[in-house]
Amino acid sequence: MFKKGSLLIISGPSGAGKSTLIQTILENEKDVYFSISTTTRPKRSVERDGIDYYFVTKEEFEKEIQEGMFLEWANVHGYYYGTSLRPVLRALEEGKLVLFDIDVQGYASIKKSPLAPLATSVFVTTPSMSELERRLQTRGTDTPQTIKKRIQNAIEEMAYMKEYDFILINSDLARSKEQILAIAKAARLKRDPKEIEEFINYWQSH
């Protein structure tokens, strides 16, 4: 009966393992659309435009804000990040699970949007701050100054954990993969009030 898709929002500190868990969903679940964020931050050497992010100028981003073309957007570490609305709506109409990797500010924006009833959220974190710092250092993509900034940002993000539907402490990767797949399956069952009302009417007339 139900045709529309659902949203699955994944947040958490940089270095907590979100990308690995997102890849697990993409490899194991069908009909998933991964929402690629738009950003004004510089592209890293390993990143590809249109695959990892859409990289735009500050002026381009601000123009799209004015035009109301973002589902959510935020300024993080002096750079803009946002989610373009058009492809998300298209994927929902196609009945897909729309997957987001966004920060706590972005999630707060989605919670205020008309799409909020379709959203399931999970906060991914490490078992401790020292473990997060170790992972960021091992990754080898950030300077010590950037790592320090990311740790401070993580401390601030942790305060928003209680706003999320699920908490995933990524200490054992195999277990975390099982948990994220279970959450993804549950997310598909989320429905907005209008769809539920339509189903009730159908149910009563058949």
Range of the domain at 23: 6-204
Does residue 59 fall inside a structural domain?
yes
CA distances from 79 to 60, 62, 102, 113, 203 (A): 13, 11, 14, 22, 49
For the chain, the domain total comes to 1
Q: Residue 97: its pLDDT value, please?
A: 97
Does residue 1 fall inside a structural domain?
no
Q: Residue 195: its pLDDT value, please?
A: 86
CA dihedral (164, 169, 170, 176) in degrees, to 10, reads -70
Does residue 41 fall inside a structural domain?
yes
Does residue 103 fall inside a structural domain?
yes
Q: pLDDT under 70 in the chain at which residues?
A: 1-3
CA angle 191, 38, 26 (to 5 degrees): 50
In CATH, what number is assigned to the domain containing residue 35? 3.40.50.300
Q: Residue 63: its pLDDT value, please?
A: 94
Q: Residue 2: its pLDDT value, please?
A: 58
Tokens of 44: 């890293």
Q: What is the pTM of this model?
A: 0.83
Whether the Cβ atoms of residue 88 and residue 110 lie closer than 8 Å to each other? no
Q: Residue 161: its pLDDT value, please?
A: 95
